[in-house]
Structure 1
Amino acid sequence: MERQNIRKLMRERRAQLSEIEQLEAAKKINVNIFQHFKNAKIRRVGIYLSNDSEIDTSLIIEELWRKNIKVYLPVLHPFCHGYLLFQRYEKNSPMTSNRYGILEPKLNCSQVCLVEDLDVLCTPLVAFDQQGNRLGMGGGYYDRTLAKYYREQRTKPEIIGLAHDCQHIDQLPIESWDVPLKTIVTPKKCYLW
């Protein structure tokens, strides 16, 4: 199956989840992600606001704030097209919609955190497979932003994909630029490679 067809199928699958199923999934993934973090010293986490029936990250964000862990959201880079910046996100952060209609903090360069200064970066995904391969929405923003990190084989931040269990398939068609994730967390399981 082609990547575009997989994207369509997986987006349809997660869109079919009821509000109750979405809420239960959010509660379970929140437990699983903090179980995964239990022995780690984490000060800064990059995460995203859910969109398009993605697994709801709001409970994770609330728990990070409760634990006094700084939260950073992706912002479309204003000068380097196709790249992301990660900006501090607090309850009162002024927000704006980006060109895709996704909320992001209004750009404030003094609140931007370098990727390598994040302890954890949680990424969205449309599908993932048995080998940890991740299929995104197709814009390549995370791939481009993290290319240097992968090339240099850095260990920080820990990159974690977040997904519904229904987004798991046996095998994805991969491209030369694809780098498998070492960790993917779903409501039912934490996959480690």
Structure 2
Amino acid sequence: MSIKNKKLELRNHMLQVRAQITLEERTIKSEQICNHMIQFLKGTLNKKQPIKLLMYMPFKNEVDITPLMDWCWKSGGSVFLPKVVHNYEMEIHHIHSLQDVEAGKFGILEPKSNTDICHDLSQIKIVIVPGIAFHSSGGRLGFGGGYYDRFFSRYDKLGIKQPYKIAVAYDAQIVENIPIEEHDYRMDQVITEKGVL
């Protein structure tokens, strides 16, 4: 079986696994994940500089990281969100509250067009990454659109140091093996409701 087909098979299976997590469980686990994230960030960040995080807006049954956004704003930090543009690239926008988002083409909440675009990727040093399945060593399986891999490749093309990539997931999304291709970027950290892997 080709890597592409292995990914498709795993993706379909893991979507079913994630869909079986109840709303109540997702709410509790998302809160636990955000708490682990905050403790991890507090312990590893340079406290002299305000935090700048590229996050995502949760869609369907993804981990809800909006409490992490609130913490970031209250801590004097900056929140950035991706907006998919016509060439299938992620355009990065600076948002100041959840009033700055609206439903996009696929029903996913994304930054409004009038929010500021971040043109200097070097200021985005930490990225919170969603996904369907993860491996404890940093392997990630996304939805298959390649948006995050193309985004991370821009750092390489510009000669900028890669951002620190933190995946957030329910523990049920951690698998023993993920098919990896040459263009797939690994995560630096994986955090679930059980803690930091």
Do the aligned residues in 1 keep the contact of 2:136 with 2:190 (CA within 8 Å)?
A: no
Per the alignment, do residues 98 and 27 of structure 1 end up closer, same or farther by CA in structure 2, a change over 3 Å counting?
A: same
- Please point out which of 5, 8, 16 is paired with 1:4: 8
Do the aligned residues in 2 keep the contact of 1:15 with 1:52 (CA within 8 Å)?
A: no
Per the alignment, do residues 151 and 94 of structure 1 end up closer, same or farther by CA in structure 2, a change over 3 Å counting?
A: closer
Letter of the 2:33 counterpart:
I
Question: What is the CA distance between 1:52 and its match in structure 2?
Answer: 2.5
Does 1:75 pair with 2:79?
no
CA distance in 1, matches of 2:120, 2:6: 34
Does 1:128 pair with 2:134?
yes
Paired residues for 1:127-146 under 5 Å: 127-146=133-152
SS where residue 166 of structure 2 aligns? Answer: strand
Unaligned runs of 5+ in 2: none
- Please point out which of 156, 168, 187 is paired with 1:181: 187
**Superposed CA RMSD:** 2.1
Q: What corresponds to 1:62 in structure 2?
A: 70
Do the aligned residues in 1 keep the contact of 2:190 with 2:196 (CA within 8 Å)?
A: yes
Question: What is the CA distance between 1:155 and its match in structure 2?
Answer: 4.2
CA distance in 2, matches of 1:32, 1:94: 26
Question: What is the CA distance between 1:97 and its match in structure 2?
Answer: 2.4
Question: What is the CA distance between 1:112 and its match in structure 2?
Answer: 2.7
Letter of the 1:8 counterpart:
N
Question: What is the CA distance between 1:159 and its match in structure 2?
Answer: 1.3
Unaligned runs of 5+ in 1: none
Letter of the 1:144 counterpart:
R
SS where residue 152 of structure 2 aligns? Answer: helix
CA distance in 1, matches of 2:33, 2:98: 25
SS where residue 179 of structure 1 aligns? Answer: coil
Instruction: Give the TM-score of the pair, scaled to structure 1.
Output: 0.88
Count of residues in correspondence between the two structures: 189
CA distance in 2, matches of 1:15, 1:102: 17
